[in-house]
Amino acid sequence: MGGMSNQTIRPAYSKWPEYNRLFCDAVAALTDEQLAIKPSPDRWPLWATVGHTACQRVFWLCDFAGEPGAETTPFTNATYNCPGDDDLEHVLSAGQLVDALDSTFRIVEGCLDRWTLDMLHEEIRRPEWDGTWVHSRGAVIQRVFAHDISHTAEVNEALGIAGLLQINLWD
């Protein structure tokens, strides 16, 4: 690999900041009533899906991978208290969700700027979590990216069912 080994991973995820901005813009435009929409009766309301998306960034990057920044987000206890997964009682507004997406994306940005290609093979272990929690750094960042896109699609599904404007990541 030669000289590329110290290159950051940002070029591999060059569109992610734009995807996050488009996600934030779409969420900011939603009313409380729209944020309460569920894609189906057995699924979370949109506010919980968006909150969960932001919170899982903190879980994987801070709680699991040890990155700094959790304290700068609403999710200082992401391992045990994320919207949707652990909390469907405390409804989040569009403003709170945008703040959550922005603050957690700053953690993502830090990883994109600090993590290098050489680091992606490093194994991260959390034996205190039952011994099975071993992932490469590359798998962690891929998981967070895929998780963001998956939940963007889920939000789009609900928006489409409701006849609302969807998030267009491809323009």
- Phi/psi for 83 (5° steps) reads -55, 145
pLDDT exceeds cutoff 80 at 132: no
Residue 75 near residue 58, CB atoms below 8 Å: yes
The strand ranges marked E within 32-130 are 123-125
Question: Considering the chain, what percentage of its residues have pLDDT values greater than 70?
Answer: 96
Domains of the chain, first to last = 2-161 (1.20.120.450)
CB contact set of 27 (below 8 Å; sequence gap of 6+)? 35, 50, 94, 97, 98, 101, 155
pLDDT tens per residue, range 3-28: 557 899 999 999 999 999 999 999 99
> The pTM is what?
0.93
